[in-house]
Amino acid sequence: MTTSFSDFGLPAPVVRALTDRGITTPFPIQTASLPDSLAGKDVLGRGRTGSGKTLAFSLPLITRLATSVARAAAAGQPRRSPGRPRALVLCPTRELANQIDAAMSPLAQELGLRTTTIFGGVAQSRQVTALKSGVDVVIACPGRLEDLLNQRLLSLDGIEITVLDEADHMADLGFLPGVKRIMDRTPARSQRLLFSATLDNGVDVLVKRYLHAPVTHSVDDAAAPPPQMTHHILAVSDADAKKHVVHQLASGTGRRVLFTRTKHQAKKLAKQLTSSGIPAVDLHGNLGQGARERNLEAFSSGSVRVLVATDIAARGIHVDDVELVVHVDPPAEHKAYLHRSGRTARAGSAGDVVTVMLPEQRADVRDLTRKAHITAQPLAVRPGDATITGLVGAVAPHVTPAPEAPVQVQRQGQGSGRGGQQGRGSGRSGGRPSGQAAQGASRGTRGATGTTSGSAPSRSGGSRAPQAAAPRADGTPRRRRGGRGRGPGAGGSAG
């Protein structure tokens, strides 16, 4: 049985880089799929988020690409050509693209390969510059990639390996027509790797149309929750009790993700928590790309322990050691419940999932949990009950929020005070590699791990920015209407 990455015949620099990051033992999806993908076969990998899929496709991609590049160089061909990458990874969200790049790029550099990300929500100029300088691997969301293809700023006729990651989520977001158009531009006999939790919503069509005699590897039942995940349904009497219970659940020392149904609710709850001394950041479609990356980095690094998110984060973030997921608003259907809940109990660790239920939601929650194969029964609670205290674990020290700065008068056309400064700029995430760095480590005392934040994030001052329009299907924001005199802080982080 394969017990280490060196058993697969991976390049020595890659194995050393994995070891330096504490990644030594393959996960089941990696052990199962790597021999076939390294041999050049098309692979269909099925498994839930957090099962190790990123390395399962990154390792064969860079290994086979490095061999191909070396062969081309020996034949006197250029190492790389402007606007003509050799490998393509398609994924549904900007956050996932950044996290795949964070995991793959250090390993690719060990073999002299270059990676870049392409997604909407930011100016395309930096992406075009990277393509013109020559890259080996493009990690992209379908919308912006199609834009650049239609502008003839890159070609996919040199693609040797294509990866479709979280194909079912791309289907849920309506990306399949674009994915098909993109795949049609790649060489028909190039290697294809497709990873998905399920094969519904048209994913099976992608498999039949683009994968040639694929070898299927399924390491778990994607329709069922992992055994390390413990589910709780807390029934509260009214909205006021719900608010206090949610604040108490957010107060622990470890990382926790709170899910709301709408963007407005996510922004409002993050502000409320921060104001009450529990530093929190929000993540939703109305945030500009720079704010999304800053908030996710704050959560990933541990400087902020609470992330309040809409379903954009159910499949868009990959952060280890999330000990608690709270469904502040129960999702509309069971797949969303499972995807949200999958932020905890990752990489073999344990985790708790809490659904906060109002009386009028009882029937919907019962139907949701039945379809998700969850056997937890509702438990009536009040704020301060021992059940909630047990889920919270160690309570983080109370942080007194910084006082509001006085609002300064702005000349027309200037920024909107501190909120403008906070919203400025974007830049690529320096997010930590997803996957196995903490693999095998004990969680220790439940709720007692994590980093204590030193202070609450500053709150936005100045005039209120205009409301952002809903983003397009590919995740790119629509142009704002009006907003004369809007400073650079529009779209900045709340809380």
Q: Is the pLDDT of residue 397 over 90?
A: no
What pTM value is reported for the model?
A: 0.61
Single residue among 411, 440, 462 that ends a domain in this structure: 411
- Do residues 324 and 256 make contact, with C-beta atoms less than 8 angstroms apart? yes
Q: How many CA atoms lie within 13 A of 67 on its CB side?
A: 13
Residue 441 maps to a domain: no
470 lies in a domain? no
Residue 34's domain comprises: 5-218
- Domain presence at residue 362: yes
Residue 252 lies in a domain: yes
Indicate whether 261 and 392 sit together in one domain: yes
**What residue spans of 309-422 are helical by DSSP H?**
334-341, 362-371, 386-392, 418-422
* 276 found inside a domain: yes
Assess whether pLDDT exceeds 70 at residue 256.
Answer: yes
Please say if the pLDDT value at position 113 is more than 60.
Answer: yes
pLDDT tens string 476-487: 444 444 443 333
Tell me the mean pLDDT in the region 433-457: 37
Same domain, 212 and 249: no
Q: Does 362 have pLDDT greater than 50?
A: yes
Q: Identify the CATH number of the domain in which residue 297 sits.
A: 3.40.50.300
Q: Are residues 201 and 75 in the same domain?
A: yes
> What residues pair up with 132 in beta bridges, in sequence order?
none
Q: How far apart are CA 165 and CA 163, in angstroms?
A: 6
Q: Which of 378, 411, 444 is the last residue of a domain?
A: 411
Q: Is residue 428 part of a domain?
A: no
**In-domain check, residue 486:** no
Among 187, 218, 249, the domain boundary falls at 218
Q: Strand 229-235 vs strand 255-259: parallel, antiparallel, or unpaired?
A: unpaired
Determine the average pLDDT of the residues in 248-254: 89
Q: What is the pLDDT of residue 70?
A: 84
Q: Could you tell me if 104 and 239 lie in one domain?
A: no
pLDDT digits (tens, 9 = 90+) for 286-308: 888 788 888 988 998 888 999 99
Across the range 175-196, mean pLDDT stands at 95
As a whole number, the mean pLDDT across the chain is: 79
**Helix crossing, 28-38 with 53-74: angle to 10°?**
20
User: pLDDT value at position 286?
Assistant: 84
Residues 38, 217 contacting (CB under 8 angstroms): no
**Under a CB-based contact definition with an 8 Å cutoff, are residues 196 and 168 in contact?**
yes
Largest CA distance in the chain: 74
| Whether residue 87 is found in the same domain as residue 135 | yes
Residue 197 domain-assigned (yes or no): yes
Do 205 and 290 reside in the same domain of the chain? no
Instruction: Give residue 192's pLDDT.
Output: 98
Count of structural domains within the chain: 2
Average pLDDT for 418-423: 36
Same domain, residue pair 69 and 156: yes
Q: Are residues 207 and 258 in the same domain?
A: no
Together in a domain, 262 and 398: yes
For residue 465, what pLDDT is reported? 40
Query: Higher model confidence: residue 334 or residue 241?
Result: 241
Residue 315 — pLDDT band, cuts 50, 70, 90? low
Give percent of the chain with pLDDT exceeding 90: 48
CA angle 342–344–348, rounded 5-degree value: 100
Identify whether the C-beta of residue 410 lies closer than 8 Å to the C-beta of residue 416. Answer: yes
**187 and 51 co-located in one domain:** yes
- In this structure, the answer to whether residues 247 and 136 fall within a common structural domain is no
- Considering the domain architecture, whether residues 208 and 320 belong to the same structural domain is answered as no
152 Rama sector, left if φ>0, alpha if ψ -120 to 50, beta otherwise = left
